[in-house]
Amino acid sequence: MNLPVLTEVQILELVAKEYNVTVKEIQGSNRKRPLPESRRMACFFMDDIGHERKDIADALQLDRSNITGQLRVLNDELTLYRDTKEHFQNLLKAVNNLLNKVNNERKTELK
């Protein structure tokens, strides 16, 4: 099994920057906007790049059973809210840029 290229912390930092919040706030239980949405985005990107649900739950300080629900709600929000979709697109670019950077660094190390 291949390990994910980006760590949970790297994803959390990208999401925190996009939403102008701290990693600690994302990991907290506050439901004030935009924290719940930022948690769902972090869940999505961690899940998408291959982190296990247990590790995602630990990183976000959530119960593992909440992860599937978080992803389901985000899917609904992406179809309903333009600002959520904009945040998603921005994060998708940021994650891809960081993945490219990490992959290029690995290629350089292997030479």
Please give the chain's pLDDT, 111 residues, in tens.
Answer: 455 689 999 999 999 999 999 999 999 988 999 999 999 999 999 999 999 999 999 999 998 888 999 999 999 999 999 999 999 999 999 999 999 998 888 878 776
Cα dist. 72→8, 17, 32, 105 in Å? 20, 23, 19, 34
Q: What is the pTM of this model?
A: 0.89
- Long-range contacts made by residues 72-79, C-beta under 8 angstroms, separation at least 24? 73/40, 74/37, 74/40, 74/41, 74/43, 74/44, 77/37, 77/40
Residue 28 Cα to chain centre, angstroms: 15
Contact of 99 with 6, CB cutoff 8 Å = yes
